[in-house]
Structure 1
Amino acid sequence: MSTNRFSKFFEYILLVEGGYTYHKNDKGGETKYGITKETARRYGYQGEMKDLTKQTAQKIFEARYYKANKLDQVKNDKVALSILDFVINSGRYGIKKAQEAINKIYGKVVVSVDGSNGPQTLKYLNQVEPAKFLAVYHSLQREFYNAIVKNDQTQKVFLNGWLNRVKVKENYIKNV
């Protein structure tokens, strides 16, 4: 899968992540384009977060979220983009929820829910019917966000944005 594919995915990331933010209740702290300061530092960026360029952000997203989670090996663009979006927003839970969705669709445990996009998970992601997967996956994503708020009321301020993110993604991937 090409870098050109990821460049198209990055356009979506910019749409949902926006620019610079620093909200007191955001557990990610200071971010730009959805990249936390901690992640930026881990990938060698030492400047002010407000000055992080799109090019640097794109390199970080591609390395940390796209390739590290083997989403370049997921054949269907809609499935790959949807998982990428959730992984960016929730870390390994994006992969865990993909594994849960696969097991739910097959009605039994066919992949381990371990947050690692290994050979078995990739096999099923590449053979599952995309529309069915996305419907189940997006439902699990919504449940995940609601559970965060149930467990930590300080995160309630973000719930509408998170749920809207899923809706935006569903509309966006219709044209992918």
Structure 2
Amino acid sequence: MTIHALIDRLIAREGGYVDHPADRGGATNWGITTAVARANGWQGAIRDLPRMRAAEIYERVYWRGPGFDRIATRAPVLAGELFDTGVNMGTATAIGFLQRALNALNRGQADYPDLAADGAVGARTLAALDAFLARRGKAGEAVLVKAIDALQGERYVTLAERRPANEAFLYGWLAGRVS
């Protein structure tokens, strides 16, 4: 699936303008918060953010910026999952989940050196991913997606347990995926 298709599915799921009283992030449009829109040059009301501008932010900030485009050339389904996780939890968290999963699946560093879970896609993370995929193939990509889903789900449940107002969002968080 291309980034444009991923963004289209994400925007369809997020919908237009939303201002839920329990959402600490405040009002959103197309899933983009006011803070993110402002950080990316939008000065108008979030309600007026054009869909095309939201799509540009998603591609630049949540796809190319963290390097998910480089992961997509190796493992497109994994890149889609990282994009989804990055939009919802931050790109550094998504990458950290990948790095943790690669470390845990590394058989005691038999396949590649363990990674620092630094939340950045760099040469070492890509080399570890390449080595993992060379050993495990397409089935390995599916296992990484499952591991990231598990880490993401655990984080969502913890957020709802720690802040009961987040229970309003838990079902949607767990049900929603773009990949």
TM-score range, shorter chain: 0.7 to 0.9
Unaligned regions of 5+ residues in structure 1, if any?
none
* 1:27 and 2:38 correspond: no
The aligned residue for residue 43 of structure 1 is 40
The aligned residue for residue 160 of structure 1 is 171
Return the alpha-carbon distance in structure 1 between the equivalents of residues 108 and 101 of structure 2.
Answer: 11
Residues 101 and 140 in structure 1, CA contact (< 8 A), matched pair in contact too: no
Q: CA deviation at 1:18?
A: 1.9
Residue 117 (structure 1) aligned to one of 121, 124, 129: 121
- What SS class does the counterpart of residue 40 from structure 1 fall into? helix
Return the alpha-carbon distance in structure 2 between the equivalents of residues 108 and 52 of structure 1.
Answer: 48
Higher relative contact order (CA 8 A, sep 6+): 2
Unaligned regions of 5+ residues in structure 2, if any?
134-139
Return the alpha-carbon distance in structure 2 between the equivalents of residues 154 and 55 of structure 1.
Answer: 31
TM-score, normalised to structure 2's length?
A: 0.84
Q: CA deviation at 1:125?
A: 3.1
TM-score, normalised to structure 1's length?
A: 0.86
Q: CA deviation at 1:16?
A: 2.7
- Aligned Cα root-mean-square deviation (Å): 1.8
Structure with larger Rg: 2
Pair 43,159 (structure 1): closer, same or farther in 2 beyond 3 Å: same
Between the two proteins, the alignment pairs up a number of residues equal to 165
- What SS class does the counterpart of residue 105 from structure 2 fall into? helix
Runs of 4 or more consecutive aligned structure 1 residues displaced over 6 Å after TM superposition: none
The aligned residue for residue 78 of structure 1 is 77
Pair 99,55 (structure 1): closer, same or farther in 2 beyond 3 Å: same
Whichever residue aligns with residue 114 of structure 1, its letter is D
Q: CA deviation at 1:95?
A: 1.4
Return the alpha-carbon distance in structure 2 between the equivalents of residues 103 and 27 of structure 1.
Answer: 33
